[in-house]
Amino acid sequence: MASCARFEAVFQSLVGELREELAQRGLPNDHNDRFQQCLISNTQGGKLNRGLTVVDTGLSLLQRSLSDDEFHHLSILGWATEIFQASYLVWDDIMDSSEYRRGKPCWYRQEGIGLTAVNDAAMLHSSIFRILRKHFKTHPAYCDLLELLQEASFRTELGQLCDTHVRDMADMTSEMYSSIAINKTAFYSFFLPVALALHYLQRASEVNLKQAERILLPMGEYFQIQDDYLDVFGNPEVTGKVGMDIQDNKCSWIIVQALQRCNDEQREVLFPSYGQKGDMHEARVKQVFGQIDMEEVYRQFEDAKINELQAEIGRIEEGAGLRKEVFTLLLSKIMHRNK
């Protein structure tokens, strides 16, 4: 697995490069400081799983130590993934009126920020393409890298569109949930990091990409389901955020499954309380979740999903340079997580 310290050192070099480019474009120092603060604040404090996955995928595919150039380039692509996520989390927190992210106030809630965070997120997103142009313009897969990130942007925004507009509980179906989870989370969180490494190492054959997508999108959906479970049943001191899915009327896996299991009397509690602000309404919803034992429903789902993913990984054809190890490592990082 990649060294976190070495990976983070690459980020510091990217911060310096972006600062230098903005200065060359005439940006005053105080505005440059502001962007640097935004960049650092919104990419730090997480587990860096997405970024490190790019490097770890390279290690698994090559089955040897990376050269200095390979590590540096894969780390840059890893940080592009982390900055990509940072931009969408800033936007997402604004749209959801979230209060905390990674144990601290959301960026838009910090002093002097407010809705200027909308442009900050756009700057973060645009900076990805400045980084790619500087480091990969002459790489044979440069256009593929750009198209992959553009596809990830479109898919994430499509998922966000559905997530923010599904408000009627009649629309909270398994099909709608799966569409939201795969587009908003799974594509950029799981497929994107692996596909970036495949393109960089020029192993992104159609066969390899299809195999990767077949496993990584369901794995990413499982990851989102974990998030939904932790939002309701997790410990905020461990997860770093206060769960708001119930009060925010989210089309989460928990409510979708609950609607399939509750009786008419329980529905009469859920319908007027789900999506309403206030601890009293949330307590009523959680009481129904307890009555139908949603924690046990989740545990059974998780065990079955892990077995299903492991079976799919076992069917991977490695002849075109893909490695089962890529997916085994990813699954090991997320299974049975509590934050």
Model confidence at 239, pLDDT cuts 50, 70, 90, reads confident
End-to-end Cα spacing for the chain:
21
Average pLDDT of the residues in 278-289: 98
**Contact in structure between 11 and 48 (CB atoms under 8 Å):** no
The rounded mean pLDDT for the chain is 97
Q: pTM for the complete prediction?
A: 0.96
What does the pLDDT read at residue 326? 98
**Span 65-104, pLDDT tens digits:** 999 999 999 999 999 999 999 999 999 999 988 888 888 9
The yes-or-no verdict on residue 118 having pLDDT over 90 is yes
Over pLDDT 90: what percentage of the chain?
92
What confidence tens digit (pLDDT) does each residue in 303-328 have? Answer: 999 999 999 999 999 999 999 999 99
135 in Cβ contact with 18 (< 8 Å): no
Q: By C-alpha distance, which of 271, 269, 232, 255 is closest to 177?
A: 255
| Cα–Cα dist 90/38, whole Å | 10
In this prediction, residue 105 carries a pLDDT of: 94
The average pLDDT across 227-240 equals: 92
Q: In this prediction, what percent of the chain has a pLDDT beyond 70?
A: 100
pLDDT at 331: 98
Range 213-239 average pLDDT: 96
What's the pLDDT at 338? 92
Q: Please give the pLDDT value at position 269.
A: 97
Tokens of 278: 């206030």
Tell me the average pLDDT across 168-175.
96
| CATH class of the domain whose range is 156-338 | mainly alpha
**Distance of alpha carbon 277 from the chain centroid:** 26
- pLDDT for 197 equals 99
Q: How is domain 1-138 classified at the CATH fold level?
A: Farnesyl Diphosphate Synthase (1.10.600)
Q: Are 181 and 224 in contact (CB under 8 A)?
A: yes
Residue 14 and residue 76: Cα distance in Å, rounded? 8
HEC assignment per residue over the chain: CCCHHHHHHHHHHHHHHHHHHHHHCCCCHHHHHHHHHHHHHHHCCCCCHHHHHHHHHHHHHHCCCCCHHHHHHHHHHHHHHHHHHHHHHHHHHHHHCCCEECCEECHHHCCCCHHHHHHHHHHHHHHHHHHHHHHHCCCCCHHHHHHHHHHHHHHHHHHHHHHHHCCCHHHCCHHHHHHHHHHHHHHHHHHHHHHHHHHHCCCCCHHHHHHHHHHHHHHHHHHHHHHHHHHHHCCHHHHCCCCCCCCCCCCCHHHHHHHHHCCHHHHHHHHHHCCCCCHHHHHHHHHHHHHCCHHHHHHHHHHHHHHHHHHHHHCCCCCCCCCHHHHHHHHHHHCCCCC
Summarize pLDDT for 23-42 with one digit per residue, the tens: 999 999 999 999 999 999 99
Domains 1-138 and 156-338 share a fold: yes
User: At 20, phi and psi to the nearest 5?
Assistant: -65, -40
> Is the pLDDT at 1 greater than 80, yes or no?
no
> Do residues 92 and 232 touch, judged by C-beta distance below 8 A?
no
State residue 253's pLDDT score.
99
Q: Does residue 61 surpass a pLDDT of 90?
A: yes
The pLDDT value given to residue 241: 78
Domain residues of the chain, as ranges? 1-138, 156-338
For tokens 């299809």, what's the residue? 210
pLDDT at residue 97, as a whole number: 87
- Window from 71-75, 239-243, 244-248 with minimum mean pLDDT: 239-243
